[in-house]
Structure 1
Amino acid sequence: MPSQLPHRAPATETRAAGAASAPAAHDNNDVPVGKIWQVISASSVGTVIEWYDFYIFGSLAAIIGPVLFGSEGKPEDTLLGALAVFGAGFVVRPFGAVFFGRIGDMIGRKYTFLLTLLIMGGATVVTGLIPSYDSIGVAAPLIVLVLRLLQGLALGGEYGGAATYVAEYSPDKKRGYFTSYIQITATAGLILSILVIVLTKKSMSDAAFKDWGWRVPFLLSSALIVASYYIRRRLHESPLFAKAKAEGRTSQHPLRESFLNPVNRRLVLIALFGATMGQGVVFYTSQFYAYSFMQNTLKLDLIDASIVLVVAMVLATPLFVYFGALSDRIGRKRIIMTGMLCAALFTVPLFYGLQAYAGPLTEVTPATVDAAGNTVAGVQKALTPNLPMMTALTFCLVLFVTMVYGPIAAYLVELFPTKVRYTSLSVPYHIGNGVFGGFVPLVATWIAVWAKAQPEGSFFQQHAALSGLLYPVIIALACWIIGTALMKDVRGVKLIQE
């Protein structure tokens, strides 16, 4: 399999030769390792915090739902409503990628993701201050919707900036290894959000947490944002972009060059349908939907579900770096496609295992009849969950994430030239990861609710709990087929300047 795209080999060689007279400081292969680690640390800290901000809303969806949509609503409806608002942030991520990607390719990487950090953090803090639906009515979900849209726009510009920034500092032959540390940040942000939620919940009664304690994780974001902004301000622009800007070779029309140029447009489409679309559904199914599934379907206590997911993610986290480094040696495509296929084949069996090891359900409060004569179901709880086995199964799910996600930043960066790299990689990443992946919780939950309402004894009704997995499995399988057929293995190349 070729190590780079055939049509780019001559250009790469020409630019590499033409750059021989440039100062060594502009060659990313000569950047000191200590400097690279400084860049990775500063980029990662901010990105972890931005993912933390984005995830705490989804992690608290079951609690926030009644706050946003009224305490009298059905649990299923308020959960779907909260997940819909959560998903709205994903819809605008591609627009954030276009907007901030253009700024990043014209002005610079550093200042663009300083701006995204402040927008994300500000929206998160304000979310923690919004009054409930019972206090201000429909204004509550509308305000939070606007804040979620701002968060989605900001996150749309964040990942591309961080991945591009680190990659443009990294040596050509170790780009997969160094960029894999950025890939850890999404999982780290989810872990941090869960830990903060659990510690907050443990520090107060259940009633207090549902009343006002859920706001604390949002408000804590303010301190994290200030610290991250201070760290990022001290960074310099990436050497490749600084050199291109000094020589007047930055793009004045990055959108046009990214999407109207037929060669670049084809690469964008392959990146979307052959890589990021599947990567998105694998990521959100294996981590986020699994967490929601354990709480809302299997009725695990929040603490038990958090222990299972956090332990599994912590154990799997080093594998992001392992597969990123491995991709420097054997190629990105082989690892990404293997993870995609494993997810398509084994996600449903692993979720069946989670269901089996959660144990039977028991009602901790009996069913009641309300004033209108309607039966209100009692609160259920998993009776005898086998947490070690559930953790092992969840680890397998996260393993697939590390395979598809660990090498993908390096793969995307190496597809596109420097002057449109920020825009070109951000758009397919955020459509695939944000739209296809971000809607996994909502679509899967909706399918499960629909299946549960089907006639008694029908196929979908019997398998209602797991029917929602049809969506991510089909998407992952389709992405594997397209990626296997069309993706080229690009690794270790000299990053193109123009």
Structure 2
Amino acid sequence: MSNRRVIVAASLGTVFEWYDFFLYGSLAAFFSTRFFPAENETAALLASLATFGAGFGVRPLGAIIFGHMGDRVGRKKTFLVTITLMGVATMLVGFLPTYESAGIWASAGLVSLRLMQGLAIGGEYGGAAVYVAEHAPPGKVGGHTGWINSMATGGFLVALAVVLSCRTFLGEDAFAEWGWRVPFIGSIVLLVISLYIRLRMGESPVFEAMKERGTISRNPIVESLSTWKSTRLILVAMFGVANGATVVFYTAQFSTFYFLQTALKVSGATSMALIAVAAGVTLPMCALFGWMSDKVGRKPVILAGYGLAILFIFPAFNMIAHMGNPDLMDAQERAPVTISGPECSFHLFADEQQSDCDQALDFFSSRGINYTRQPTNGAASSDPLVVSVGDQEISGFDKPAFEAALVSAGYPEKADPDKINHVGIILVIIALMTCTGMAYGPTAAILAEMFPAKVRYTSLSVPYHFGAGWFGGFLPLVSQLIVAMTGNVYAGLWYPVIVTIFAFLILAFLIRETRGTPLDQ
């Protein structure tokens, strides 16, 4: 079987995975009113993001189940099962009833399908990475497996193209009513193509050799965790490789989109187009840096990506803000919002915020407007709320007065298309995605080389999906929670920065260089 065919067949699952990821992620705000109670916009959005994260939460369980199957039954058979489950679950989302017609059953149906997708994906990436790595010629493991990670961007682009096409040809009203179902139902095409190609593939030569020698593991998960040495290896792989690479990836390709659309009020179509151009330009980056890691080593390339991301994330989002909505940035500097009064807090999943102060926090958080909390010393819960917008003061919760004050202070309702610096934003996102290529490109290679062949599927999948599923998958939810609790639209960026700092230190000092490690042992 040709190397190109192996890479294409294995990468199709990655395309599917990220097609679903971006499809749901980009429509999370939209789903919040279709599948959850809409009385509290912020809470509904957070519930939608929590459902998004739920699929990631069960990935480690999928890694254990399908990792065991992959090490016992074979690489090929296992990821035929995983891609089928993943494809069916994605398609069925398009047939779900909405909350308006089915109530809580609509929410339950969406959560169930997200869990099914998460279980399947838990076995998909490990299978693809192991399959390609075990087919790759010596000295080319990084370049070949790097294409798997590059195809994550391919999944983004396919999802973007499908969503933009549906919105353009159907119109926004039809898309909102029923057209959102089309991208999910249409995913059956990806499933059929993926199955057709994968059914024609052979088994991994390394697995076939183990089968002939009779060295297949009897219980891969037990063997993977049987000693402190093997357990430690899984832990450092998770914290030093999987966590860092995935949060950098999600920040560059998902958080930028969400930030443009929600915090800066750039239209969904424009936000998607900006991400699409940057993603298209940087699509080969993971493969390029995977190839580079074949020349200079896995660690130097990944560490460079981590270091640049740590230094650049905050400046990048600040630049995007000033280029995406300069009127909003000017208004926030000229007329900052201050909320004074009794101590209060934003109740994340309440249908309705109770006190005037709680409602004020919800009002500004849901609009992506920075605010500063100034509790009055010794204030009682009955003391009045005072909201300042520049030199304007409003007592108590008064939504019309808040809206009028924001308009008077020059806060725009949405970004002015004529003032958006499209080229500048694209260049900043390209820089972030280049960091992603460096951090994420050699990931499959270093993980495959860290573990012995007989438990490689399990040992690779478990740390990757704990990292990608728990630390990366919950990034949108955790970041948005931090923003809602602090009132600072940049505060959520501390999450990926801190995770990446820890990953940098662990990779630098606790993980050996793996380039050149034989994969048949």
What band does the TM-score fall into relative to the shorter chain? 0.7 to 0.9
- State whether structure 2 residue 451 is matched by structure 1 residue 451: no
Offset at 1:361? 5.1
Q: Which residue does the alignment assign to 1:191?
A: 157
Offset at 1:374? 5.2
Q: Which residue does the alignment assign to 1:56?
A: 23
Q: Which residue does the alignment assign to 1:38?
A: 5
Q: Is the contact between residue 304 and residue 387 of structure 1 (CA under 8 Å) also seen in structure 2? A: no
Aligned residues: 444
After superposition, give the CA deviation of every residue in 1:396-420 in whole Å (9 maximum; x if it has no partner).
1111110011111110001111110
Q: Is the contact between residue 56 and residue 473 of structure 2 (CA under 8 Å) also seen in structure 1? A: yes
TM-score by length of 1: 0.86
* Cα distance in structure 2, aligned partners of 1:436 and 1:488: 23
Q: Which residue does the alignment assign to 1:65?
A: 32
* Cα distance in structure 1, aligned partners of 2:82 and 2:25: 20
After superposition, give the CA deviation of every residue in 1:358-396 in whole Å (9 maximum; x if it has no partner).
124589xxxxxxxx9854969921112111100011111
Q: Which residue does the alignment assign to 1:433?
A: 468
Q: Is the contact between residue 444 and residue 471 of structure 1 (CA under 8 Å) also seen in structure 2? A: yes
**2:3 partner amino acid:** I
* Cα distance in structure 2, aligned partners of 1:477 and 1:298: 27
Structure 2 counterparts to residues 271-310 of structure 1, below 5 A:
271-310=237-276
* Cα distance in structure 2, aligned partners of 1:141 and 1:44: 31
- State whether structure 2 residue 209 is matched by structure 1 residue 243: yes
Q: Which residue does the alignment assign to 2:422?
A: 387
* Cα distance in structure 2, aligned partners of 1:285 and 1:394: 10
Q: 1:358 to 1:242 in 2, by over 3 A?
A: same
Q: Is the contact between residue 147 and residue 284 of structure 2 (CA under 8 Å) also seen in structure 1? A: no
Offset at 1:75? 2.7
- State whether structure 2 residue 174 is matched by structure 1 residue 150: no
Q: Which residue does the alignment assign to 2:381?
A: none
Q: Which residue does the alignment assign to 2:515?
A: 491
Match of 2:493 among 469, 480, 487: 469
Structure 2 counterparts to residues 14-163 of structure 1, below 5 A:
35-70=2-37, 72-163=38-129
**1:62 partner amino acid:** A
* Cα distance in structure 2, aligned partners of 1:373 and 1:286: 37
Offset at 1:261? 2.5
Q: Secondary structure at the match of 1:66?
A: coil
After superposition, give the CA deviation of every residue in 1:401-452 in whole Å (9 maximum; x if it has no partner).
1001111111000111111000001111111111101111111111111122
* Cα distance in structure 1, aligned partners of 2:257 and 2:214: 49
Offset at 1:35? 1.4
* Cα distance in structure 2, aligned partners of 1:75 and 1:394: 28
Structure 2 counterparts to residues 193-342 of structure 1, below 5 A:
193-342=159-308
Q: Which runs of 5+ in 1 are unaligned?
A: 1-33, 364-371, 453-463
Q: Is the contact between residue 277 and residue 433 of structure 1 (CA under 8 Å) also seen in structure 2? A: yes
Q: Is the contact between residue 35 and residue 99 of structure 2 (CA under 8 Å) also seen in structure 1? A: yes
After superposition, give the CA deviation of every residue in 1:178-205 in whole Å (9 maximum; x if it has no partner).
1111111212112211111111111122
Q: Which residue does the alignment assign to 1:349?
A: 315
Which range is displaced more, 189-198 or 144-153?
189-198
Offset at 1:222? 1.1
Q: Which residue does the alignment assign to 2:359?
A: none
Match of 1:411 among 426, 431, 446: 446
* Cα distance in structure 2, aligned partners of 1:77 and 1:211: 22
Q: Secondary structure at the match of 1:469?
A: helix
**1:495 partner amino acid:** L
Percentage of identical aligned residues: 43
Offset at 1:55? 2.7
Q: Is the contact between residue 361 and residue 380 of structure 1 (CA under 8 Å) also seen in structure 2? A: no
Q: Is the contact between residue 303 and residue 508 of structure 2 (CA under 8 Å) also seen in structure 1? A: yes
Q: Secondary structure at the match of 2:170?
A: coil
* Cα distance in structure 2, aligned partners of 1:202 and 1:125: 21
- State whether structure 2 residue 477 is matched by structure 1 residue 442: yes
* Cα distance in structure 2, aligned partners of 1:106 and 1:38: 24
**1:481 partner amino acid:** L
Q: Is the contact between residue 266 and residue 325 of structure 2 (CA under 8 Å) also seen in structure 1? A: no
Which range is displaced more, 400-409 or 74-83?
74-83
After superposition, give the CA deviation of every residue in 1:135-167 in whole Å (9 maximum; x if it has no partner).
111111111001000100100100000000000
* Cα distance in structure 2, aligned partners of 1:398 and 1:239: 34
* Cα distance in structure 1, aligned partners of 2:18 and 2:269: 21
**1:397 partner amino acid:** L
**1:235 partner amino acid:** M
Match of 1:479 among 503, 517, 520: 503
Q: Secondary structure at the match of 1:252?
A: coil
Offset at 1:77? 2.0
**2:27 partner amino acid:** L
Q: Is the contact between residue 55 and residue 119 of structure 2 (CA under 8 Å) also seen in structure 1? A: yes
Q: Which residue does the alignment assign to 2:391?
A: none
* Cα distance in structure 2, aligned partners of 1:391 and 1:421: 38
- State whether structure 2 residue 465 is matched by structure 1 residue 422: no
Offset at 1:279? 1.0
* Cα distance in structure 2, aligned partners of 1:137 and 1:322: 48
Q: 1:137 to 1:227 in 2, by over 3 A?
A: same
Q: Which residue does the alignment assign to 2:338?
A: none
Which consecutive aligned stretches of 4+ in structure 1 deviate over 3 angstroms post-superposition?
360-363, 372-379
* Cα distance in structure 2, aligned partners of 1:50 and 1:342: 27
- State whether structure 2 residue 148 is matched by structure 1 residue 182: yes
Q: Is the contact between residue 66 and residue 73 of structure 1 (CA under 8 Å) also seen in structure 2? A: no
Offset at 1:338? 1.1
**2:183 partner amino acid:** P
Which range is displaced more, 98-107 or 484-493?
484-493
Offset at 1:302? 1.1
Q: Which runs of 5+ in 2 are unaligned?
A: 332-396
Q: Is the contact between residue 83 and residue 441 of structure 1 (CA under 8 Å) also seen in structure 2? A: yes
Q: Secondary structure at the match of 2:131?
A: helix
